[in-house]
Amino acid sequence: MLKYKLIPQSKDEKIGITIPLNIAFVNLADIASCNISAREAVKLIASSIDGPVGINVIDMDCVTTTSDGIMTEGTVVLMAAGDRGKINPDFGILEMEEIPYSEELIREEPHLKQWEMYPGKRLFRGPNPKKKLIPVHNVVITGRAGNNNSATEMMNIVTMEEILLPILGQLEIMRDGNIVVGNTGEVISVGIGMTIAEKFGRIFPTRQYKAGDTAHGSGEYAKTLKRDIPIIAADKAVIAKQTIKALQFGMIPGKDIGCSPLVLSIAKAMGLEIDLDNITDRAYAELASVGITKEWLREERIPLSADEVISKADTLVPGINNPRKFKASDITLLKEIEI
């Protein structure tokens, strides 16, 4: 039996957000146990669902990075979009590209020094642009279903409703862990733009925006871009713990990793170094629109320990409007397909 987890398409009052299409998550290990390929598995999953569906194949034994450069264990290795039981064979399915380790890669992308904490783990982020038909966006489309930004943002193309699925939230779903559901809000809308320069990145295929800059470049308007879109994210304590792991390893916000409000708030709370001079004026303009100013970042305060930050993460870590906490199993169904 092929097992997968499904978040059904719904306007669910219990969780407080609209799920604009069906969302399926399948563990690569479960696929392997059925002696089929990942491509065969997503076609089987799509055939079991009548409506639009985004499908993410996740390898829990590999590593990836968040959009602001935090490395974590577990990653999407293939994404698909299906509708009415089918997947478009040309642009409805796409693999992520493995990125081999090299000293040159580490020099080009210093945030990947974190790889030392995950010895032997393979790295995946986004697809190779030479292997996809749809230009610019890392997206797959079939019928009404769109699965974008390397499987972290899905859309019902007919209703034009979206949902954000940050990778740490997806990994909590795979682990039956703790998640937060709500509307993205202004802080995360700004933070999404604070990316780092990566080859075959989840959003950009080339090293376009370095740590300390913003991909949005839209001033105060940046906070409105994703503000009202539903989001399923990891519990803030989980996010804080993973971010602190990178900070304590020696990653410097604004230099090695991105300058998102989340990363800056945790680093400031702990009294850790932030490269304030490397943050660009246009990034500061967007940060200031949600209250993260140069002056605030320079203010002296008594630093908190890692445990204190994690225990107070709900108040210290900004982001998500109207949040509701759940166990992942509260919003997912465990489905099985006979092979």
The per-residue pLDDT for 180 is 98
Least confident of 82-96, 197-211, 305-319: 197-211
State residue 156 phi and psi, 5-degree precision.
-90, 110
- CA dist 226 and 16 (Å) reads 17
160 sits in the region (left: phi over 0; alpha: psi -120 to 50; else beta) called left
Residue 172 has pLDDT above 80, yes or no: yes
Q: Tell me, what's the pLDDT at 216?
A: 86
Q: What is the pLDDT of residue 212?
A: 86
Cβ–Cβ under 8 Å, residues 186 and 289: yes
Please, which pLDDT band fits residue 334 given cuts at 50, 70 and 90? very high
pLDDT at residue 284, rounded to an integer: 97
Kind and range of the H or E element at 234? strand 230-234
pLDDT at res. 14:
81
Q: What distance in Å separates the CA atoms of residue 212 and residue 143, rounded to the nearest whole number?
A: 38
pLDDT for residue 132: 87
Rounded mean pLDDT of 198-226? 84
* 236 neighbors 180 (Cβ within 8 angstroms): yes
Q: Is the pLDDT of residue 202 over 90?
A: no
Burial of 258 (0-12, 13-18, 19+ CB in 10 A): buried
pTM of the predicted structure, to 2 decimals: 0.96
Residue extents of the structural domains in the chain: 2-176
Mean pLDDT score of the chain: 95
- What's the whole-number mean pLDDT along residues 219-247? 95
Res. 302: pLDDT tops 80: yes
pLDDT tens digits, residue range 3-47?
999 999 998 778 999 999 999 999 999 999 999 999 999 999 999
